[in-house]
Amino acid sequence: EPEVTQTPSHQVTQMGQEVILRCVPISNHLYFYWYRQILGQKVEFLVSFYNNEISEKSEIFDDQFSVERPDGSNFTLKIRSTKLEDSAMYFCASSGVLEYNEQFFGPGTRLTVL
Amino acid sequence: AQSVTQPDIHITVSEGASLELRCNYSYGATPYLFWYVQSPGQGLQLLLKYFSGDTLVQGIKGFEAEFKRSQSSFNLRKPSVHWSDAAEYFCAVGLNYGGSQGNLIFGKGTKLSVKP
């Protein structure tokens, strides 16, 4: 069964450093998303991406964040200068055209900012 | 503003007992509703979804949920809980932009513990 994959599973970084979180969505999906979950809190939407551009973003997704689909398979989230409060689990999700909003989630990347 | 409320933070049930997890939403348009389950260290797995039509929807692992528009609720049920159902359950609303893709808004989750 096709699935969304994410790498790395755990990333530790120093405050102020740049990190790139990687995702491989399901191959025939066209909509891509990033969500985050701070420990003990709910899952929050960050950004959605379609047709090589951002279609929607939340207030959390400020200038420190960017997304890219550098090739036909990867979807990345970059945080330019990490802050302590960026520590969270980051989930990538993808969905197809016909399954409206039925988003398939990856296992997540746990980001720890020290 | 759109929101999802899961009033129970933690529920403990005995194995074999029935289960109901509550979910209320606030959304002006026709909602798209989902339940996801998250096992420790795992991602989010879709249990079931409601788009339209029959208000009682069946999902995987023996779960079902009922959409009640008048109560703005989408409660998750299972008639007999198994120990493997212990996990965290998230209710979500999918925003509807005239049929185009929208993001999901999640509730805070309900942690389910199962007693032997």
- Residues B75-116: pLDDT tens digits? 999 999 999 999 999 999 987 655 455 788 999 999 999 999
Question: Tens of pLDDT along chain A (114 residues)?
Answer: 788 999 999 999 999 999 999 999 998 888 899 999 998 888 999 999 988 899 889 999 999 999 999 887 899 999 999 999 999 999 999 988 655 668 899 999 999 999
Q: Are B90 and A43 in contact (CB under 8 A)?
A: yes
Higher-confidence residue of B2 and B73: namely: B73
CB within 8 Å: B34 and A4 = no
Q: Are B20 and B66 in contact (CB under 8 A)?
A: no
Q: Which of residues 6-65 of A touch B (CB under 8 A)?
A: 31, 33, 35, 41-45, 48, 50, 55-56, 58
* Tens-place pLDDT, residues B69-81: 999 999 999 999 9
pLDDT of residue A97: 67
Chain B environment of A100 (Cβ under 8 Å): 32, 51, 94, 99, 101
Number of neighbours of residue B67 by Cβ within 10 angstroms:
21
**Inter-chain CB pairs, A–B, below 8 Å:** 60
- HEC sequence for chain A: CCCCEEECCEEEECCCCCEEEEEECCCCCCEEEEEEECCCCCEEEEEEEECCEEEEECCCCCCCEEEECCCCCCEEEEECCCCHHHCEEEEEEEECCCCCCCCEECCCEEEEEC
Give the tokens for residue A65: 């964040």
Residue whose C-alpha is closest to residue A46's, from A30, A31, A65, A29: A65
Nearest CA in chain B to A96: B101
Chain B environment of A103 (Cβ under 8 Å): 46, 104
